[in-house]
Structure 1
Amino acid sequence: MRYGNRWSALLLAGWLVGCGESGLDPQQGAGQELGQVTQKLSASTRPGMGATVYPGGTTFRVWAPNAQRVWVKGSFNWSGIELGNEFNGNFSGDVAGAGHGQDYYYTIQNQWGSYHDRKDPRSAWQYNSTSDSKILDHNNYVWRNSFSTPGFNEMVIYEMHVGTFVDSPGGNPGHWQSAMTRLDYLKDLGVNMIQVMPVMEFPGDFSWGYNPSFPFAPESVYGHPNYMKEFVDQAHARGIGVIFDVVHNHYGPTDLPHTCFNGDCMGANGQYFYTDWRKSTPWGDTRPDYGRAEVRSYIRDSMMSLLHAYRGDGLRWDATKYMRTSDGSAEIPDAWRVFRSINREINANQPWKISIAEDFGGGDSITNASTSDTSGGADFDAQWAGEFVHPIRKAVIESNDANRDMFAVRNAITQRFSGRHTSRIIYSESHDEVANGHARVPEEIWPGNAGSWEAKKRSTLAAGIVFTSPGIPMIFQGQEFLEDGYFQDTDPLDWYKNDVTYSGIRLMYRDLIRMRRNWFNNTRGLRGGNVNVHHVNNTGKVIAYHRWESGGPGDDVIIVANFSKTYFPSYNIGFPRGGTWYARFNSDANVYSSNFGNTATLNTVAYSGGKDGMGYNGSFAIGPYSVVIFSQ
């Protein structure tokens, strides 16, 4: 990870005017006696953890079990105001005059009498990951647009990294305002959900976001918290929802306000974390202690803040496998209590909002519901489908046609979790699949020549399978204009590829998305849950499948995919009904690329006569490495 000069960036933006930094080391003792502080508060009767603004002041409430005393210091009183002990692990008080934009931190006297300055783990606003916390009044932003989240079977997801989505090479990362400049583009592309990679405060300026320090505070280099709200607001104005990627399998592991928060490390990192073998993750010894009710509440509140205060339309939980296990195998049963309680709350209050697990191994138990708090499923709506992406990528990256396995492709198309077609997220590119030793699909097909005919044809073949298979389709930013190489948080998208070089490939993605969303009311079956892969030619490397919701004209859809370099002038397959079947889409059309074959895949008439288990059959031409979509 690269660390930029955060302070220079913020000074240029004028954000540090009047910031009131205290300059105290967050991990060392304050080195001053607070016994003479004149102001001491009674415990508050107002609700809320962290810093909660009310008319005329702010309630501070912090979890500090085993602490003797706790003070809050800030722009309102740098000498310190002692909070009242609630004798339940919490200390709280109502501080008149404390309000939006003011800095603050806590000083804690631990059980042995020493003092420690701490930032608020529930801080909702940070200048950076090492600064004091700031009070945020969520009512400071006025929402402008209403929005109705699309049904799960209607969703098309675009995975975005805010720092690289719209930016220029060098300098600081992109931000919410730069990303907003391309929202009209995404609307035209046809996606109706944006899944942003983690955007909560992390160390440094450049990161994928999977190392959060403050799960309640938006990443400062991306802009003011209100800019994050405005991004959601402006996306909603264009009919696009926003899914937030959240990380609770570990925190940090650096710049953490939680570490030894009480002044008692408990032999590890303190009360927020496991202190035994369960603390260890592939990213550090900072797995939250899911067995503690206060930690579960902390996780729950951070997620509900995204769904309510920021009006997110869903959550994508990173690496849930490393919540429910320590290393992929050793079980941590406490995590299931987190999954169920939060997902059930979402289902009870906002069931139209989607909750997605990245698990790779949880299977039906992740997406199944359960009536028991100690057994059964986790109540996720969907999970990322490794069972889909890996065989599809393998099939198109393979250089030898003979080695492509059409039965593996068939199984990828038909696989589902918990019997629901919307319970899986399907894709050929994601942030994980285009980095970590991998690259973009066109790059993997022909390293160093991602713009070649083969790379264009086979990568779009994979996209055709994504948008026509049962599931919720997702693409990764730049996939739609043949972005090459591999994903890096310091390498912005090359929009010239979209605007000029590969604008035809982007047009193909737009057309596929419109097919998937039944844009013209003649491919309704692509939103449905039914699929029958009725034709598997493993010799010729051609597969065909039938998709439908209720059946009938405008609903039944036939997809044919040629995974070979062979041109077929007359290919015959079964059809579910007789009559004319219209060629709605042909990926070999040269409107998508001047060097495509423009195979004349025309409308075909299906005649009576059994084929592939169906009562009718029809013939048509199909080009190499191509997808064709038929409907009536």
Structure 2
Amino acid sequence: MVFSTANVTSGMSVIQVSTQTGMGAIPYEGGTAFRVWAPFASAIYVAGNFNNWSITENLLAPENNGYWSVDVPGAKEGQNYRYVIQSPFIPSDSVWWRTDPYCKHVLDNDGGDGVIVTDQFDWGTNTFNMPVWNELVIYELHIASFNRSENKPGDLNSIIDKLGILKDLGINAIELMPIFGFPGEYSLGYNPAFPFDIESNYGDPGKFKNFVKKAHEFGIAVILDVVYNHFGDKELDYSLRRFDGWNQNNGDGIYFYNDQRVQTDFGPRPDYGRGEVRQYIRDNALMWLEEYQIDGLRFDSTINIRNIYGKNNEPVNDIPEGWSLMQWINNEIDSKMPWKITIAEDLQNNEWINRNTGSGGAGFDSQWGSFFYYSIFNAVVASTDSARNMYSVRDAILQRFETDAWKRVIYSENHDEVAEINHKVRLPEAIWHGNADSWFARKRSTLAAALVFTSPGIPMIFQGQEFLEWGNWSDSGTLDWSKKDKFSGIWDLYQSLIRLRRNWYNNTRGLRGQHVNVHHVNNNDKVIAFHRWDNGGLGDDVVVIINMGDRFYDRYSLGFPGGGTWWVRFNSDWNGYSPDFGNHSGYDTFANQSNPNDSDGMPFSANIGIGPYSVLILSQ
């Protein structure tokens, strides 16, 4: 971004544009510079604590490119400010107060005052290394509802209080739902008013940096959900909408499209074709990764960035500049911080989302795997065993984008699929409404968990799954942490699965590998088995057997990739996970050489024992 060195005369004094670089409030020694984009303004003043809120004292100079700036000696960190804009599109007798779009801390309960923030924080000397994609285990978390106390929403400090517990569970990445400022006390986070701002109920920039630092000290990466498919909130008269008064076609102003492309189901769509708006979104993405040192971004609803109506395979309604914006951001991240992950929520099973930009792809490292979710959800929620389609389960295990297993994030719950606002419920509740703590709900929901942690892909769980949270989730609710003790065995089951997924004991490395072979599909008896491996061999080859039927087997024969003894590393029917689980013997077994025609095409075969609605994980 190039800034001009123009100046303007105000009264008898010449006001020069700032020589400081950057946007918004830019503290320097002895004062603060202010720079804002407002191409249709005729004059702009900055008012705040530093000038007793004078609306005529600190006039910004035009840079002759739509940007305005000024240095204000004496303005300092912690002081409040806002812009006062004059424009041909604003009545001359109106005082047009606007919040700085680049402001990093907005007092939304105080009329939209911005706060001057400095980028000064002691990050310490510890170095955090982001886990590689095939080692990630993600925990999706909503700040307000994760660990609230009394009648107050949870905040960043309340998460810090639970970091030790999450580390003990085994997760190594937290995906935070959006933290952008929003009106009111509660929100899912998908109604962003100011994308550079941190919601005041959650904390401020210093508290967020402290949270990231503490998470890193626990070995936990931080991934942030960002919302770029729409901006603005019609409840706020000081938001990005009609920022400098201009509103072609009675639209939402300079930050937004002013034709049919503006409309989404959630709010006005930014104008991805306008250079200043593209820069704004790009600056936002890099700020979180660089200044706040987070480890990745999950882009909300990319389908609504790339298509007017949020539809796949409708090229006539595509938004090419939305696609190129995502490419630009991903290219910048890859060139500066290639170890940091970007994840798309596209939900269209579109391989081009993950393809590299050189071949025309959007360049995301991974995307949410909705195909996996719906296939597994339908299998475990079906009310009768006969309705479970093991071929759909097979296809969910095998599906991937291009040849890379880690280009999909897989899950059996996420915030959208359990939200009260969407009339959805948690998986145990969906299995048996009103009886989510029943044997059937516990057994079948943990089948889904086992598939998440043993199938190729980056596994993710939603807060509370690990202790059987049920009902539905809302932004104003809270997790029932008493269930962690009540269903401590379910917690242990999740912990066991996560440790095996991460090769904790150095005998299940195959669960981190690219390779999978679903070699046994018995749709009549609802049994499926698959082989996972990285390089193969002892400590690497893993066989997963899943019984989705309500019957047990003392001797069930199937194929194995290698001969010799196979040890049971996990048996979900163990009564240590729940006293009413059957503890059916999932015994260690010996695989003998056999005719591949009689053993699922595998060179060896063995007998196993398995309980109803149960999972075995074996390795050598």
- TM (norm. structure 1) is 0.92
Could you say which residue in structure 1 is the equivalent of 2:290?
308
Assess if the C-alpha contact under 8 Å between 1:39 and 1:82 holds in 2.
Answer: no
Could you say which residue in structure 2 is the equivalent of 1:101?
78
Could you say which residue in structure 2 is the equivalent of 1:468?
454
| Structure 2 counterparts to residues 289-304 of structure 1, below 5 A | 289-304=271-286
Identify which range, 226-235 or 514-523, moves more after superposition: 226-235
**Structure 2 counterpart of 1:294, one-letter code:** E
Q: Secondary structure at the match of 1:559?
A: strand
Q: Secondary structure at the match of 1:76?
A: helix
Q: Secondary structure at the match of 2:594?
A: strand
Identify which range, 394-403 or 324-333, moves more after superposition: 324-333
Could you say which residue in structure 2 is the equivalent of 1:273?
256
**Structure 1 counterpart of 2:338, one-letter code:** P
Relative distance call for 1:65 and 1:336 in structure 2 (3 A) is same
CA deviations 1:429-476 (Å, max 9, x no partner) are: 000111212211000011111110000000000000000000000000
CA deviations 1:223-272 (Å, max 9, x no partner) are: 22211111111000000000000001112423252111112122201000
Q: Secondary structure at the match of 1:419?
A: coil
| Structure 2 counterparts to residues 237-248 of structure 1, below 5 A | 237-248=217-228
Q: Does 2:336 match 1:349?
A: yes
Could you say which residue in structure 2 is the equivalent of 1:332?
319
Q: Secondary structure at the match of 1:433?
A: helix
| Structure 2 counterparts to residues 361-376 of structure 1, below 5 A | 361=348, 363-371=350-358, 376=360
List gaps (5 residues or longer) in structure 1. Answer: 1-34
**Structure 1 counterpart of 2:103, one-letter code:** S
Q: Partners in 2 of 1:147 and 1:202 — Cα distance?
A: 31
**Structure 1 counterpart of 2:587, one-letter code:** L
Relative distance call for 1:112 and 1:332 in structure 2 (3 A) is closer
Could you say which residue in structure 2 is the equivalent of 1:81?
58
Assess if the C-alpha contact under 8 Å between 1:145 and 1:233 holds in 2.
Answer: no
Q: Percent identity?
A: 51
Equivalent of 2:304 in 322, 329, 343:
322
| Structure 2 counterparts to residues 15-54 of structure 1, below 5 A | 41-54=15-28
Relative distance call for 1:91 and 1:545 in structure 2 (3 A) is same
Could you say which residue in structure 1 is the equivalent of 2:3?
none
Relative distance call for 1:454 and 1:40 in structure 2 (3 A) is farther
- Structure 1 residue 477: Cα displacement: 0.2
Could you say which residue in structure 2 is the equivalent of 1:6?
none
Q: Secondary structure at the match of 2:498?
A: helix
Q: Does 2:130 match 1:149?
A: yes
Q: Secondary structure at the match of 1:138?
A: coil
Equivalent of 1:626 in 605, 614, 617:
614
Q: Partners in 2 of 1:138 and 1:562 — Cα distance?
A: 54
Assess if the C-alpha contact under 8 Å between 2:349 and 2:371 holds in 1.
Answer: no
- TM (norm. structure 2) is 0.94
Q: Partners in 2 of 1:490 and 1:56 — Cα distance?
A: 43
Could you say which residue in structure 1 is the equivalent of 2:171?
191
Relative distance call for 1:174 and 1:40 in structure 2 (3 A) is farther
Could you say which residue in structure 1 is the equivalent of 2:106?
126
List gaps (5 residues or longer) in structure 2. Answer: 1-8, 312-316
Q: Partners in 2 of 1:38 and 1:476 — Cα distance?
A: 62
Assess if the C-alpha contact under 8 Å between 1:49 and 1:60 holds in 2.
Answer: yes
Moved >4 Å (runs of 4+): 35-40, 140-144
CA deviations 1:33-61 (Å, max 9, x no partner) are: xx987876311122101111122221211
Q: Partners in 2 of 1:252 and 1:57 — Cα distance?
A: 30
Q: Secondary structure at the match of 1:334?
A: helix
Assess if the C-alpha contact under 8 Å between 2:18 and 2:70 holds in 1.
Answer: yes
Identify which range, 40-49 or 56-65, moves more after superposition: 40-49
Could you say which residue in structure 2 is the equivalent of 1:26?
none
CA deviations 1:375-403 (Å, max 9, x no partner) are: x2100000001110001011001110001
| Structure 2 counterparts to residues 153-164 of structure 1, below 5 A | 153-164=134-145
Could you say which residue in structure 1 is the equivalent of 2:464?
478
Relative distance call for 1:147 and 1:346 in structure 2 (3 A) is same
Assess if the C-alpha contact under 8 Å between 1:40 and 1:83 holds in 2.
Answer: no
Give the number of aligned pairs: 593
Relative distance call for 1:40 and 1:629 in structure 2 (3 A) is farther
| Structure 2 counterparts to residues 378-397 of structure 1, below 5 A | 378-397=362-381
Assess if the C-alpha contact under 8 Å between 1:110 and 1:262 holds in 2.
Answer: yes
**Structure 2 counterpart of 1:242, one-letter code:** V
Identify which range, 115-124 or 479-488, moves more after superposition: 115-124
| Structure 2 counterparts to residues 392-407 of structure 1, below 5 A | 392-407=376-391
Equivalent of 1:174 in 148, 151, 154:
154
- Structure 1 residue 418: Cα displacement: 2.3
Assess if the C-alpha contact under 8 Å between 2:586 and 2:608 holds in 1.
Answer: yes
